[in-house]
Structure 1
Amino acid sequence: MTKTFSTRIAATATGALLAFAPVVASAQEGEPIKMGHLTYHTGPFNAVGDLFDGITNFAVDVVNEDPPLGRPIEVLHRDIGTLGEAQVARRLLDSDNVEILLNAAHNYLSYRDFALDHVAENGRPIMPSVHGGAIDSEYGGTAEEPLFRGSPMDSAQGVAAVVHAHNAGAENVVVVASEIAGSQLQKDGAVKAAEELGMEVLAVIDVQAQAPTYRSVISRIGGMNPDAVVFFSPGEDGGTFVKNAAEAGNSWLLIGSSDWLLEEFSATATMSAIDRHEAVLAAGFTHADTPAWETMQELWENSEYADLGEPSNSYALQYYDLIVLSALAIEQAGSTDPEAWSEAMYAISSGDGEQVYSYAEGLEKIRAGEAINYEGVTGAMDYTDTGVVSGLFGVFEWTDLETLEQTATVDGAEVLRLDQL
């Protein structure tokens, strides 16, 4: 069965930590919970800023209809494309005193020690992250490092791309990746998966992000006569690569990652170039057909954010689930204290409580003293002990500049097996 939708937008603490006891000020009902959102309006991912901000606002609006502990969430959107993730994160913690730092990402390790010291000394922030798949899986999931991901590891996307290429009959593959942390993780996952599946890896190539052309790399790949080419990159870079390859007369099975699901990819690639290839696909995340999806879809389509795109967008699914789960965990914990919140994240997502599919349903049961198990639009949110989450994978193709069609699913169990090699 195909799913069609349109889109209009594109751990262990250090010894120093243990020397401190968190100083947590008690919050009053009605006092806002400040959430610092690390977003993108400049740099390689500038095209997604409005989308990410809108999705965040949408999910927070759902929560603020009846906020956890009676404390509405106040979002501070901060661009990290120019100043950098580390500097912006420090400002949000030191100057804005946020209790939630949303979306630690590719450069988290450059300020990790600072963040962990801040948690130990101040009892904040908690760190849910849709982009946490770019952070090595050894980090997170603890009271000392309350980082919980909203999507599987980036390496799993690379695995999913190669699994689909293998299922399509490819016996060999060229793996290409932008010099960005998440893309590099996808590359590593793809190479390991290909070798495990018995595919010949013809070449592994790193390329500059935001390059004006990839013609020299494409010329090199063309001489290898590959069965498949997988390229992990921001959407615009992927579009440039696809277009350059078509202009050079190639017709390849090309597979990218979830950034190829954004309109910046299709607009840059052009449909004429896409149509010249054997296939141009993207391995991304998809939704489960559950009451959670029905609830989110209805809420989205009746919201002021509906014009941003379809709710089935991979990022929309992940932001929604993670923010809803995080808010329910705050209610369950009785505070934003990292230790209590981390325990609650596990308890309400992987416990033995009654299954719930929406924020409102979960909130009602928590307040009634009942145990819950939140199953979201992306399915069961089972966390490992380092805050890595499971997910559902789909394969998508563009049918026109604004329309994506899901053409296949990828066996999640197989992806998990290969990703853990």
Structure 2
Amino acid sequence: MTDLGTPLDLPCGQRLPNRLMKSALSEALGTSAGAPTRRLERLYDAWAGGGWGLVVTGNVMVDLRHRGEPGNVVVEDERHLDALRRWAAGFRASGTPLWMQVNHPGRQANVLVGRTRPVAPSAVAADVAVATRPRALTEAEIRETIERYAATAAVAEAAGFDGVQVHGAHGYLVTQFLSPRSNQRTDAWGGDPERRRRFVLEVVRAIRERVSPGFAVGIKLNSADFQRGGFTESESREVVAALAAEGIDLLEVSGGTYESPVMFGPDTRRASTREREAYFLEYAASVRDAAGAVPVAVTGGFRTRAAMTAALGPDESDTGSGASSTAAGSAAASSAAAPGECDVIGLGRPASAYPHVARDLLDGRLERIELPAVQVGARRLVRRLAPLHTVDSALDLSWHTDQLHRLGAGKAPDLARPWWRTAVTATLRNGPGAFVPKRG
């Protein structure tokens, strides 16, 4: 089997020292002007020494007027270049590449932060309680937004980041262009799958034109948005093939939107998927032909070293006998996951509770990641106000955000933190939108 410590060479020539990726987590540690803070630097210093093969930041916004939540870092130009350089500096000696996730929230923008009406491909509001009806982007605004992604990527490279990841999942602007539910345009940017995917392809092309050949460009993409009449797995595979032709370096698989948040918890997974831990392994396996030489990462649900190793499949040097394995419990895991479903294992929430979890997995000191089950109290009352799964998912993510903030303050994670403390801090941070799940 492929060992978690096996290096991986990306198409751009960049080498990941191992197969464990710290996937994007929204840190909410920027200033009101969108600048990185010392707390953000300290948080990433903890991960720089954590043994990761790749670290991807939380979603950095490309437009100060449109932010997903308070505390988002925003990179429009070089005004915060010195702070960005300090943010990336801890990774220079670690050997771990650091990528900036770049994003535009589109109709999911927080109007209390940006104080301007959200924009989207079409004037269609998201089907969530706190949604605001967006304004449809003009042709000129679409082209300006594409250039914003490219400008942000260029600044990231100047600041010392090793790559960018375009956020194309979870209902943000790229996803909105891809889905016929949110993109009802009939011009060159919508109307059929080919025109709906034009936006993301133009974003990747624009970034490539502004960065050096060795600077990595990846994408986080929905396998589907899991809504009737929405973005389907079949369309997603077509997008993957088109992106592979553009020369992306890594595809991270996710799924769902805030209208249908399958990415936030295990309750909606099929039994076969629960046995295999990760949420999107089956899709990842099905998309490998379309991805071609582009490595595939899967994030969400992995908790055991055995399942991670099994998902990576056989090493190229394996004889195929399958007679032995060095990882504890890997024989059982091998029967639960087909070989070679992905190339990189993404870990999100575990990285907030255990910043060095990658190193512990690689050293063999850890076989299973244990995380507390965070659930709201007063469940009978809460059930009358909102679906418990939605509230629990948002509370769980906020609990992990609290751990990020502790790390940023130079403190150790508090795994015994009670749910009600997180409910208070989440409300103070995000106001009325506190219990609408947000994720990088």
State the TM-score, normalizing by the size of structure 1. Answer: 0.26
Q: Which has the higher contact order (CA 8 A, sep 6+)?
A: 1
Question: Hey, which of these two has a bigger chunk of strand by percent?
Answer: 1
